[in-house]
Structure 1
Amino acid sequence: MSSIKKTWKAIRRNFRSFRKNRAYRARFHFTRYYEKEPIDEKTIFFESYSANNFSGNVFYIYKAIADDPRLKEYRKVIACNRKNHAEVQSFLEFHGFTDFELVEVHSHEYCRAIATAKYLFNNSTLPVYFIKRPEQVFFNTWHGTPLKTLGRSIISAPNEIGNTQRNFFMADYLLYPNEFTFEHMREDYMLNELFPGKYALNGYPRNYVFYQTSQQEALRRKLELTDKQVIAYMPTWRGTVARRSVQEQLLAVRYFLMEIDKRLRDDQVFYVNLHNFLNAELEFDGYKHILPFPKEYETYEFLSIADCLVTDYSSVFFDFANTGRKIVLFAYDEDEYFATRGVYIPYEELPFPRADTVQKLIREINDPVTRPYPEFVKRFDPWDDQDTAAMIRDQIFFGSNELHLIDGTSYRNGKRNVLIFGGSLAQNGLTTSLRGLLNHLDTEKYNFFVMFFKQRVQKYNYVISDFPKGISYISIQGWKDITIMDAFCQLLYYRFNITSGFVMDHIDRMFQREAKRIFAGNQFSDVIHFTGYERNIAALFGQMKDTHSVIYVHNDMRKEKDTRSNYHIPSILRAYRDFDNIVAIRESMVPEIMDLVPGIPQDKIKVVHNVNNIERILENAALPLAFDENTESTHTVEEIREILDDASVFKFIDVARYSPEKGLKRLILAFEDFSRNHPDSALFVIGGHGGEHRELCEYCQEHALKNVVLIQSLSNPFPILAKCDCFILSSFYEGLPMSIMEALILDKPVVSTNITGPREFLEQGYGELVEDSQQGLYDGMVKAYDHELDLKPFEARAFNEQALQEFYQILK
């Protein structure tokens, strides 16, 4: 596709998003208000549960503020959405409130409110485009003590933390209702080094309602429930952040409710409060004893009158425990649910009866005995008998000191914070070298943060879960905040390489703003663009002042510009000129870089070799061969094992992405010629992404090359590599491939085309260099097959020690 066609396609795509996507448009609206309008000292903004309803902690804070005559002059803005606007309006009016304005999320009014309100109260996250201004006061209460793991401990989605984490970084106050939540939130959102605000260790505003006994009695009388046993059912949502299986869950809920309804007595009322996704779909007309939570009451206001709570894995039981009343865990799918989720507390250790069938559930509900759980309340609800909403109001608006505040900076360890951009974490050499480095870094001297784009690492979450515990990370989520003129200048710069002063001024301001959006004002002593390609990161790091900036060069960039779509020459050349250091991964790259950027000082370029993950390579090589869920292969696991276990077959292997510069087509052609004379041979090619995979598969099929095994997307290639006889590299150009050293660590002889990069390493005696051609590859195969390679062993551990010292040198 020509560059003009690509540009036109991008313009159309962005215009379509602007026209159809309200959240996409909102970032333009917000940026205008953020840049142009002053802070309104008399505006207070409230949002709960991403504007899906108005309840919980934020409602009770609003109530405390709205009921206080001293704050009558303040404008009170509440977020809602298009679907619930009327419902929120009715809810507030039912409670007697008139002093409020509703704004729909992502609207002009909403964007103006969050950009200019002096005070902001939230219990979840504000949108990805929100940037807190220094004059604003942002109070985040969060919304529950967690049973299920959060942040980096989410098994299936550790990359999903981006917007939550940065909301925490921006907050002036983070409220936690117990030490348990406090510790886990700090650890799993990696707050210790980057949260500059205050932690408030106080009860949840919503939980104070459990201690308002006269209010509870009045509500039961009003609803004519004084002679009823009120049972509240509040199950958790069983979907994921990205997948909402509403219909599947509705089927299960309808079945259980039907069975429960048959078994309830006439003096029992079973009130149901499901997740928003399900509440909208479920009808209650056919039940005798089952009703929905009344919408006009706040959730906890109504929950406070329940005699019994039925839940499953929802954190609501932590809150309801304040009452000391019966709690039953209806866990009909416990094994299935926890198969993909972690928990902070073993489920079986909770002090509440569990039921996995309707019969057992009814038996537990009807049991007159409620087993006490005072230690549980002491641990998880130590401060809920306080009127925390009033305490927050008085702290923020009147300067009282009733909240138990802890300075967030007191948890900092005083080490330098080093930020490393790690790319997509895909199965390639860049990720291999990054993982090797991360597994050897000294976290006693530095705090290391790996940064990546949330969406781009979706398929490689296992890499994040495998980060060493001492390594933190930042997940970038959302679009940049830009103006219309910024968008125009971005088009001129990235599509047409226009670098006028006007254009670059807008580009620089845009990325200064982006630094605030992502990092919330946090500073890093060092920023390292480890992949060396991503243009937005080059621009972002270039705008981070008072920071030592480093950009890596992993390959011959003169040749990469012709094959990589994410390589923007002006961005990279600007980074080479402006960054403090350029890192080359081999000595021969230094003149290549100086040739690419004339006039650059040679002492600015540092050589830092890649670090090998030796122990992991050896451990993984000893594991049985196994495909990943997304692995594609021309042969089955059983067929591959049969080849590997056949000692009479001489086996070659190359590990490289399926891209033209890797020379895989000529490798297969050379092997095709070789195998005619040596039918007792096989060739394995294992690669990650790349457009050549399908073409090579078709060629092998058309030419009946049954002894060529092509595998795509295999996270652990080492069981195959360990059983092959020779590693053969066919690339046209390279930096210094990790795969060569991995083969040497597993004592495999290496044959490579005689190209810059591999040459300077292998000519030390570690491998055989052959002519950079199909014939050269053929000759290398013959030499390896005839056992004519005389190579010396690779001292991998000594190499690693040197490489680590080189890396630490650039941080000094």
Structure 2
Amino acid sequence: MPDVKKVIRNYRKKMGNINFSRQVEYQKAFKKYDVKNNIILYESFHGKGMTDNPFAIFKYLVNNPEYKNMKHIWVLNNYEDNGYYNYYKKFANVEFVKTHTKKYFYYLVTAKYLINSVSFPPYFLKKEEQVYVNTWHGTPLKTLGKDMEGSITQHSNLQRNFLQTDYILSPNEFTSEKIVYSHDINDIYTGKVLENGYPRIDNIFYESQVLESNFSILKGNKKLVLYAPTWRGEVGKVDDIVFQIVQSINDIVENINIDEYEFLVKVHPLVYKYIEGMDFEGITLIPNWVDTDELLHYIDILVTDYSSIFFDFLVTDKPIIFYLYDKDEYLEKRGVYLDLDNLPGSICYSAEDVSKNITESNTIVNRYKVQVERYKKQFTHYDNGSVIKDYVAHIFLAKQSVVEKDYNNKKSNIVMYAGAFLNNGVTTSAINLSKLFPYDKYNLIIIDKSRGNKTFEDNIKRLSPNVHMAYRGGGMNLTFYEWVRYNRFMNYSKVENVDFYKEVVQQEWKRLLGDINIEVGIDFSGYVPFWTFMMAFSGFPNRIIYQHNDMAAEKLKVVGGKKVHSKNLTRIFSLYKFFDFIAAVGEKTLELNRANLSEYTEENQFVYIPNVLDPDSLFMHRSEPSLEKTAIFNENMLLINDQRDHGRVNATAITAPTIKGKNFINIGRLSPEKDQEKLLQAFALLLREEGPIHQLYLVGSGELEKTLKAETISLGIEDNVIFTGQTNKAIELLDKCDCFVLSSNHEGQPMTLLEAIALNKPVIATNIEGNRSVLGDNSQYGDIVENSVDGLLNGMKKFLSGEMKSSHDFDIQKYDNYAMEEFTKMINYRD
């Protein structure tokens, strides 16, 4: 039994983590309170203001007698000096809450209608009775989601939110397509996109009592010019941005007649706090709380850059000036969807040119009439000042009053965890499978963590473009007692309460993927207890876990004096019985695992599903070689990696294959089960007999790298052994070498062995089950040798003497066809 005091101590420590404590408090509210039909919750930009589309919908509903019984909850973190708050706080049916508070949790789980312009926090989970409307916040000129530069996972919480919505509101077809495809929800989205213009644009058509009471200039005699630059840069790095904006403001105002024009400035909230106290002559700084579209009703001339504000302003038929002083830099860093040379207004690159266009603004509309009409036709054709009425009728009254688009292709869905996308055989196998996957019948969703390094991102980019990637951000929502139960399994591998596990796991899947109906769940890795747990208790009709190795041997694997997989694999083995299939990638591996793991499994669970090869990527280097010889210090080298930064090149080069002797190669993690130490000892003996004319490439990295390098020095072969580290050019290097050597003590179905024989390379492989699964007991592709130093030495000598059998008839297409037939049978077995 666990120590109760220790459990409580650990829990309190966890509660010190703000994200964990929010998950706990939200889960408590989620389980305690029921949905109330008369509550609407509005959130705009994570509680930064009462603005944008949610505000426009709120204004319509709060003033509509048909909805007088509704209670309106506004998420607002800063009430101070907010004109809308001061106005609406007097309404009996309007209440304000701050994010991540107990009241916020309460209303987030009880509101029948949830209306948001961006996204709810990672812990949010829509209840079945709730209606979630995501309005988004603009027609995108700038790239969105996976189209943006930066981290490949940066859109994960937005994607998760979109998958939970019942409706996404869109102003036009262009925006519908960009939101759906850039957030990778095409084909699998179960909600509907409602396309009928933007609620917030309705505000442009009408006066605002709140703004007029706060800003007398709106009713003055001067022409109102609004400068509204978009956000640039990164959060926490605003100094350069602030300087540029301040400089632009001063330079523009300096050259216009302030007796004729009132110059208004509305900047991003992160910039506003830096300039609100500055003394600007002849300008009015508009505070953050002001809704931009309400303000646009009064504006005569708009000056902006890459902000979607200009799309909204098109409905006024007033002049737009685009100040694109950093166009080239912005295009490189962020990217845009539209041609910046054909915008619906005057394009300027200097402040002086902006000032000149302001004074000549009466000519702009006529000068750019063609572009303006084209943009209006494409982007604002629905917007007539009353689009909210139709949206409300559709959402609240179930009337078919707007265009409703369905992006779901109705195919069955498979979700797969592929194993963190490390540089290893499991990743290669998953990538290859993604290329041959039967997309004609299924959608494939691969799920992983929401943060990764360059290796992680590079490998994801190698997947088929047909794959939908989902990234798990946040954590599982659990109360204290649920957390204790969950951790009893994770700490002690005891499966004690299957109904509880199913409840929390299925809730977590819903948090991650919304209402997507999953037919098949695949733990393709088979090494990570959390994802095995998630698949085992998912309730998916078909649950599959892969075995890529001799799993009993893996459990006993020792690195640095520790059994590194023992605890994790103990948990995983205890969950095998909850899977329909245990897919072994090698026939011999299947027999070994079935015998060694019989206490955890049933005999009929095991199936043989070989990994597939991707011929396109396997042979691509032959038509597009990248490993060309380069002379460095008068020596032939191969450049395997180079990173360029502002003219500086950080390059990694390795010794080129020798022409004096033969080039052996081993590809794999530098770890005990791969046993490259044995290979080094055999190679040292070979060089003693043959002389130092041959080379050995060790491709990979791992915990034994330093030990193996020290071993080469001890053996006196350091000049003949090349450690390449991790490289995406391993296959090309393999093709340049003469013989592949696999020295492993246990394997499942080694992908590098398959790749070597597909490239028609002679192979030497130790006599273990996984290698025999690939090569057969009497291999025609090379030699299966005794798993020892002498065995490897004799294999290399046999190769050098020309006695090794080597065949060139490996039929990749036939092999892949068989593998995919077996895979398809496995995922289809319920049909």
**Matched residue, 1:781:** 796
1:583 equivalenced with 2:576 (yes/no): no
- Alignment RMSD (CA, Å): 3.2
Contact residue 538 and residue 575 of structure 1 kept, 8 A: yes
After TM superposition, give the deviation of residue 627 of structure 1 in Å: 4.6
Change (3 A) 1:303 1:699: farther
Q: Is the contact between residue 266 and residue 288 of structure 2 (CA under 8 Å) also seen in structure 1?
A: no
Please give the per-residue CA displacement for 1:675-734, whole angstroms capped at 9, x wherever unaligned.
Answer: 45532222222225x323344456557868233322333223233222122222122211
C-alpha displacement of 1:132: 1.0
- For 1:481 and 1:795, the matched residues in 2 are separated by 49
Return the offset for 1:554: 0.8
Greater shift in the superposed pair: 336-345 or 314-323: 336-345
**Residue in structure 2 matched with residue 207 of structure 1 by the alignment:** 201
Q: State, as a whole percentage, how many aligned pairs show the same letter.
A: 28
Cα displacement (A) at 1:133 = 1.0
Q: CA deviation at 1:587?
A: 0.7
- Report if aligned partners of 1:573, 1:597 keep a CA contact under 8 Å in 2: no
Contact 2:527 2:569 in 1 (8 A): no
Is the Cα–Cα contact under 8 Å of residues 674 and 744 in structure 2 kept in the other structure?
yes
Residue of structure 1 aligned with 2:401, choices 380, 399, 403 = 403
Amino acid at match of 1:375: R
> How far is the alpha carbon of 1:570 from its aligned partner?
4.9
Q: Tell me how far 1:95 sits from its aligned partner.
A: 6.0
Alpha-carbon distance, 1:70 to partner? 4.2
Q: Which moved more, 1:160-169 or 1:778-787?
A: 778-787
Cα offset for 1:253? 3.2
* Secondary structure in structure 2 of the residue aligned to 1:559: helix
Q: 1:433 to 1:217 in 2, by over 3 A?
A: closer
Which residue of 1 is the match for residue 616 of structure 2?
Answer: 615
Amino acid at match of 1:150: L
Deviation, structure 1 residue 673: 4.4
CA distance in 2, matches of 1:310, 1:699: 68
Distance 2:493 2:112 in 1: 40
Is 1:429–2:425 an aligned residue pair? yes
Matches of 2:356 and 2:792, distance apart in 1:
75
Which deviates more from structure 2 when the two are superposed, residues 583-592 or residues 538-547? 538-547
SS at match of 1:757: helix
* Number of corresponding residues: 790
1:518 deviates by 1.5
Distance 1:289 1:718 in 2: 65
Assess, with a 3 A threshold, how the Cα gap between structure 1 residues 618 and 752 changes in structure 2: closer, same or farther.
same
Matched, 1:768 2:783: yes
Residues 503-544 of structure 1: per-residue CA shift (max 9 Å, x gap): x54433221211221222321222221112222222222233
Q: In the alignment, does 2:673 pair up with 1:661?
A: yes
After superposition, the C-alpha distances for 1:270-308 in whole angstroms (9 at most, x for unaligned) are 433332222222345243234422345322212332233
Matched residue type, 2:610: H
SS in 1 for 2:155: helix
Q: Residues 638 and 110 from structure 1, CA distance in 2 versus in 1: closer, same or farther, beyond 3 angstroms?
A: closer
Structure 1 residue identity aligned to 2:414: V
Partner of residue 300 from structure 2, selected from 302, 307, 313: 307
Q: Give the aligned residue type for 1:789.
A: M
> What secondary structure does 1:131 align onto?
coil
- 8 Å contact from structure 1 (residues 511, 543) kept in 2: yes
Amino acid at match of 2:815: F
TM-score normalized by structure 1? 0.89
Q: Give, in whole Å, the separation in 1 of the partners of 2:672 and 2:9.
A: 30
Distance 2:570 2:81 in 1: 52
User: CA, structure 1 residues 70+169, in 2 after alignment: closer, same or farther (shift >3 Å)?
Assistant: same
Within the candidate set 737, 762, 766, 1:749 is matched to 762
Q: CA deviation at 1:56?
A: 0.3
The equivalent residue for 2:561 is none
**1:805 matched to which residue of 2?**
821
Q: Does 1:235 align with 2:229?
A: yes
The answer (yes or no) to whether the contact 1:533–1:566 under 8 Å persists in 2 is: no
Larger mean CA deviation between 617-626 and 316-325 belongs to 617-626
Specify the SS of the correspondent of 1:354: strand
Task: Give the letter for the 1:384 counterpart.
Answer: D
Matches within 5 A, 1:27-66: 27-66=23-62
Does structure 1 residue 710 correspond to structure 2 residue 723?
A: yes
How does 1:317-328 map onto structure 2 within 5 Å? Answer: 317-328=310-321
Cα distance change on mapping 1:579 and 1:280 into 2, 3 Å: same
State the alpha-carbon separation in 1 of the partners of residues 691 and 282 from structure 2: 79
Is 1:169 the counterpart of 2:163? The answer is: yes
**Correspondence 1:133 to 2:146:** no
The equivalent residue for 2:381 is: 382
Query: Within 5 A, what are the aligned runs for 1:14-29?
Result: 15-21=12-18, 23-29=19-25
Deviation at 1:153, TM superposition (A): 3.0
Distance in 2, matches of 1:239 and 1:724, equals 47
Q: 1:708 to 1:296 in 2, by over 3 A?
A: same
CA distance in 2, matches of 1:265, 1:700: 79
Preserved contact between residue 321 and residue 354 of structure 2 (Cα < 8 Å): yes
CA change 1:327–1:306 in 2 (3 A) is same
8 Å CA contact 1:767–1:791 kept in 2: the answer is yes
For residue 709 of structure 1, give the secondary structure of its aligned residue in structure 2. strand
The alignment partner of 2:436 has SS state of coil
Contact map agreement 1:264 1:289 (CA 8 A) in 2:
no
Query: TM-score when scaled to structure 2?
Result: 0.87
Judged with a 3 Å threshold, the aligned counterparts in structure 2 of structure 1 residues 507 and 56 are, in CA distance, closer, same or farther, namely same
Q: Which runs of 5+ in 1 are unaligned?
A: none
- The answer on 1:624 being equivalent to 2:626 is yes
- How far apart, in 1, do the equivalents of 2:106 and 2:607 lie? 47
Q: Matched residues in 2 for 1:214 and 1:157: separation?
A: 40
Q: 2:323 aligns with which of 308, 327, 330?
A: 330
Residue 535 of structure 2 corresponds to: 541
Deviation at 1:224, TM superposition (A): 5.6
Q: 2:237 is matched with which residue?
A: 245
Q: Is the 8 A contact 1:129 1:479 kept in 2?
A: yes
Alpha-carbon separation, structure 1, partners of 2:380 and 2:735: 55
Q: Which amino acid aligns with 1:123?
A: S
Q: How far apart in 2 are the matches of 1:381 and 1:216?
A: 26
Partner of 1:562: 556
1:114 deviates by 0.6
- Structure 2 counterpart SS, 1:159: coil
**Unmatched segments (≥5 aa) in structure 2:** 558-563, 628-638
8 Å contact kept, 1:220–1:305: no
Deviations 1:169-216 (A, max 9, x none): 221221111011112323333434433333321121111122237989
Letter in 1 for 2:245: V
- 1:684 is aligned, of 689, 693, 697, to 697
* Cα distance in 1 for residues equivalent to 2:661 and 2:9: 54
One-letter code aligned to 2:607: K
Say if 1:639 and 1:552 are closer, same or farther in 2 by CA, change over 3 A.
closer
Measure the CA separation in 1 of the matches of 2:33 and 2:509: 20
Counterparts in 2 of 1:131 and 1:178: CA distance versus 1, 3 Å: same
Specify which of 245, 248, 258 is matched with residue 256 of structure 1: 248
User: How many Å separate the matches in 1 of 2:9 and 2:142?
Assistant: 42
Question: In the TM superposition, what is the alpha-carbon distance from 1:217 to its structure 2 partner?
Answer: 11
Contact 2:51–2:290 (CA<8 Å) still a contact in 1? no
SS of corresponding position for 1:439: helix
CA contact (8 A) 2:588 2:772 kept: no
CA-CA distance at 1:608 after TM superposition: 1.1
Instruction: Say which SS state the counterpart of residue 419 (structure 1) adopts.
Output: strand
756-765 or 244-253, which moves further after superposition?
244-253
Look up the match of 1:739. 752
For 1:87 and 1:13, the matched residues in 2 are separated by 43
Separation (CA, whole Å) in 1 of partners of 2:272 and 2:66: 38
Instruction: Report if aligned partners of 2:765, 2:783 keep a CA contact under 8 Å in 1.
Output: yes
Cα displacement (A) at 1:314 = 2.3
**Shift of residue 586 of structure 1?**
1.0
Q: Is the 8 A contact 1:79 1:103 kept in 2?
A: yes
For residues 776 and 58 of structure 1, do their structure 2 counterparts lie closer, same or farther at Cα, with a shift above 3 Å needed? same
* Contact 1:119 1:138 (8 Å CA) reproduced: yes
Q: Structure 1 residues 281 and 17 mapped into 2: Cα distance closer, same or farther (>3 Å)?
A: farther
Equivalent residue for 1:529? Answer: 523
Distance 1:233 1:647, change over 3 A: farther
